[in-house]
Amino acid sequence: MADLFNWQITLPIAAGALVLGYLLGSIPFGLLLTRAAGLGDIRSIGSGNIGATNVLRTGNKKLAAATLLLDALKATVAALVGYYFFGPEAGLLAGFAAFMGHLFPVWLGFKGGKGVATYIGTLLGVAPWMVLVFAVIWLSVAKISKYSSLSALVATLVIPVVLWFINEPKIALVMAIMTVISWIKHEANIKRLIAGTEGKIGQKG
């Protein structure tokens, strides 16, 4: 528990890590890729957000996959760069900032995606073995429920708990904060899940 409050990072380095992460995270790959492909503004269709799920609504699976990969990797890159130059705490802060940059990009009026891909990307950068845990939980819940959103919500809920129990309190704390923010961004999905109107995986219309 004591380690949770024992941060060694200096304020200038922390600020630099946050700025680096935010700038990388705020790159709107979904918007850029769909525009480059001649599909217009992704914000004008579906949920209106810039993530892979909405890109998939264009019918272009390759673009959706590319968006998912790039949205994850921008957080991974931020975390790894921060770690390489300034240590694990800087990497953790940079990954968190990339997540926030994706959700609230200044270039798009602070209206971004829901952050699942960048959540996974941050995990890959700071605790890579946990990506497998996330995947197992997501796939298990998806197989049972057929809800992609519920799978992500459950996975993000479990990850900080597992991190805490394997004695990674700082990472657990940051991922817990990201989980809370991700759940808030999924408010509409949660309401539809409760109402029984959330679309299932593979469901058309």
User: What is the Cα 8 distance to its own chain's centre?
Assistant: 26
Is the pTM higher than 0.85? The answer reads yes
Write out the chain's pLDDT in tens, 205 residues. Answer: 556 677 889 999 999 999 999 999 999 998 888 888 888 787 877 666 787 777 877 777 888 899 999 999 999 999 999 999 999 999 999 999 999 999 999 999 898 888 999 999 999 999 999 999 999 999 999 999 999 889 999 999 999 999 999 999 999 999 999 999 999 999 999 999 999 988 887 665 4
